[in-house]
Amino acid sequence: MPNIIETFKLTRSFNSLTAVDQLDIAVEAGEVFALLGPNGAGKTTTISMLCTILKPTSGTAKVNGFDIVKEATQVRKSIGIVFQDPSVDDRLTGRENLYMHANLYGVPPGDQKNRIDRILKLVELEDRADDILRTYSGGMRRRLELARGLIHYPKVLFLDEPTLGLDPQTREHIWAYVRELKETHDITVMLTTHYMDEADKLSDRIAIMDYGKIIALDTSAKLKDTLEGDVIVVKAADLDAVSALVAEKMGLKQSRIVDDMLEITVRQGRSVLPRVVETATANGVFIESISLREPNLEDVFLHYTGRMIRADSGREPHGIAAIQRRKIR
Amino acid sequence: MTELRGFYTLWLREVKRYLRDRTRIVSSFVQPLLWLVIFGVGIGASLRGGVQIPGITYQHLIFPGIVGQTLLFTSMFMGISVIWDKEFGFMKEILVAPISRFSIFLGKMVGDSTDALIQGIIVLVLGLALGVNIDPVTFLASLPVMLLITFGLVSIGLTIASFMGSLESFGAIQSFINLPLFFLSGALFQLQLLPDWMQTVSRANPLTYGIDALRSILLGGAWQPFQVQPLFVDIAVVGVFDLAMIAIGTWAFTRMK
């Protein structure tokens, strides 16, 4: 498969801060590629450069064979974008928003009606298409934005935090649409997210990004394999005591406290788990419950950075915060 | 062709948004009505000997001026659409589209001008109700002149708004510009009667020529001897002003991120 996105030492600085630092990535045509990282890792800055919204400080990239600096208009014709913040006209109807987009992107007038009807069906908005957008829920607007990004048949679709602030059910829906798109359209998807499950369920390959650099890049399964182990989750009144105990008596040094639970990364968890209980009991430390799970991407991130990714709750901002978020950057 | 369709779709958007905003349309009656009825009648009554133009009352004299004022205020106000679009994120959708900034600016500008023209037409109809004599030919002849006046003014509003980050700062700047332009346009006075300094400043104001053109059309022969400039000169001045403002506005949109 040829590479549809390639970056060459792509760099962007804001004053003294290097948001994206000499990035070299290649995305194959037809794959769903996720940039995963905490807020401020440089994901949106990367996408903004690939979409020609921001100019790189140094380095460059090619999207669909076009240089993002020298051939910006060609790049723009090749891509669809779903921005992190809302970007629809809420005084127009859903259909009017789509027609406007079709005209801005030079979709032949003869094709417009047909394409718009079909895409509305895909995102299940055909019944509400002629309502003013103000009456739409957040999830419906998101679906409309997704639909809009596809009207001009882009080669690459960029999704910047596509399900930020949406409820779990709507998120599942959006994921289903994206997967369906990949099946039905000849399209490459690049998305940014700080949700582990989103990257895990949606993407073929994941690039973990932190401080402007890629720190790991592979399929979800292989990333988890690099941890070579399982995670034992312990619930106890004195987690520090358990942590100290397993480190001292059993040599299990990879443990940390997450959400009032102690997570211990071990090899062959099935056989280690009973020993943990024995050791705790023998030393008079009471364990309330204990379980075993496979490593997830959170563990991968922790492994590479020594930090947790969950910097914020990702809840929908309200009131002033919502308006602030919508501001153009 | 893509550029033309982009222009058209942005124009259509501005007009649709305007026509759906009922309160804006209804409230547009109020201010000109106050000026024409209260200010026009009041000042007219205090000018004992009447104005010095035979056959024209003070109310009739300021009528084209109030049309011009409406065009000025609404046109400048249109810049607010840029701020809204930035605030609500829609500007990004337009700015990343594969069409030129010139088409984007022109689509928005002509769309907003169309809206301002509709406001102007409302005031014309208001004048008709107040007894200003407007025959169909006069009515039709005033439309292109009104549109021409709005182009430059809308361009100023859009240019300022493209630099502004908030509604408040836009409002503040706007009031700095609106009132001087209005008071120094001869909208409320006959230019020849003013002291020299005020005449000089007024002659540097492009709106003066716009309002003079509207008077030439709406007041007909009675205004002829008092014209600031002949009609075609007025139109040429406004046209050149428009072109300059469009150039500046396009530049402003090009640097917008």
CA distance A264 to chain B (A): 44
| pLDDT (average), residues A206-215 | 90
Number of domains in chain B: 1
Q: What are phi and psi of A290, to 5 degrees?
A: -150, 140
> CB–CB of A244/A251 below 8 Å?
no
pLDDT of residue B234: 95
Residues of A in contact with B17 (CB under 8 A): 89, 91-92
Query: Per the structure block, which two tokens stand in for A312?
Result: 């914020």
List the single best residue of B9, B19, B22, B88 to mutate versus A (max A Cβ within 10 A). Answer: B88
Q: Tell which residue, A242, A241, A266, has the closest CA to residue A252.
A: A266
- Which chain B residue has its CA at the smallest distance from A327's CA? B87
Indicate if the pLDDT at residue A8 is higher than 60: yes
Would you call A103 and B9 a contact, using CB atoms and an 8 Å cutoff? Answer: yes
Q: What is the pLDDT of residue B48?
A: 65
For the beta sheet containing A255-258, the strands, ordered from the edge strand earlier in sequence to the opposite edge, are: A255-258, A261-266, A230-236, A287-293
The average pLDDT across A277-290 equals: 88
Which of B13, B86, B89 lies nearest to residue A83, judging by beta carbons? Answer: B89
What token pair was written down for A161?
């935090």
Say yes or no for a CB contact (<8 Å) between A91 and B88: no
In this prediction, residues A161-188 reach a mean pLDDT of 84
Residue A191: enclosing H or E segment and its boundaries?
strand A188-193
Contact A86, B89 (CB under 8 A): yes
Distance CA(A80)–CA(A64), nearest Å, equals 12
Nearest to B208 by CA among B183, B185, B241: B185
Mean pLDDT of A272-300: 87
Shortest Cα–Cα distance, A72 to chain B (Å): 8
Residue A89 has pLDDT above 70, yes or no: yes
pLDDT over 70 (residue A204): yes
pLDDT at A96: 95
ipTM of model over 0.95: no
Between CA A145 and CA A178 the distance in angstroms is 12
- Min Cα–Cα distance to chain B from A270, Å: 52
Residues in B touching A85 (Cβ below 8 Å): 89
pLDDT confidence of residue A310: 56
The candidate with the shortest Cα–Cα distance to B112, out of B150, B143, B160, is B150
A213 pLDDT above the threshold of 80 = yes
Cβ pair B96:A92 closer than 8 A: no
Radius of gyration over every alpha carbon of chain A, rounded to an integer in angstroms? 23
Nearest to B243 by CA among B102, B126, B34: B102
Q: What is the mean pLDDT of residues A106-130?
A: 91
What residues of chain B score a pLDDT lower than 50? none
Asked if B97 lies within 8 A of A105 by C-beta distance, the reply is yes
Contact between B98 and A76 using a beta-carbon 8 Å cutoff:
yes
Q: Which residues of B touch A89 (CB under 8 A)?
A: 13, 17, 90
Q: Alpha helix locations (H) across chain B?
A: 2-20, 22-27, 30-34, 40-46, 58-77, 80-87, 90-95, 101-129, 136-163, 167-183, 196-203, 206-218, 231-254
- With a pLDDT cut of 70, the percent of chain A lying above it is 93
Give mean pLDDT, residues A201-222: 90
Q: Which of B18, B82, B92, B95 to mutate to test the interface with A (most CBs of A within 10 A)?
A: B92
The answer to whether the CB atoms of A92 and B13 lie below 8 A apart is yes
Residue A108 banded pLDDT, cuts 50, 70, 90: very high
CB contact under 8 A, A77 and B98: yes
Expressed as residue numbers, the domain containing B136 is 2-255
CB distance B238 to B71 below 8 Å: no
pLDDT(A226) > 90: no
The predicted-structure confidence for A34-80, as pLDDT tens digits, reads as follows 999 888 889 999 999 999 989 999 999 999 999 999 999 899 999 99
A83/B92 CB distance under 8 A: yes
B86 vs A86, A148, A328: nearest CB: A328
**Paired tokens of A97:** 């928003």
Ranges A19-33, A268-282, B7-21: which has the least confidence: A268-282
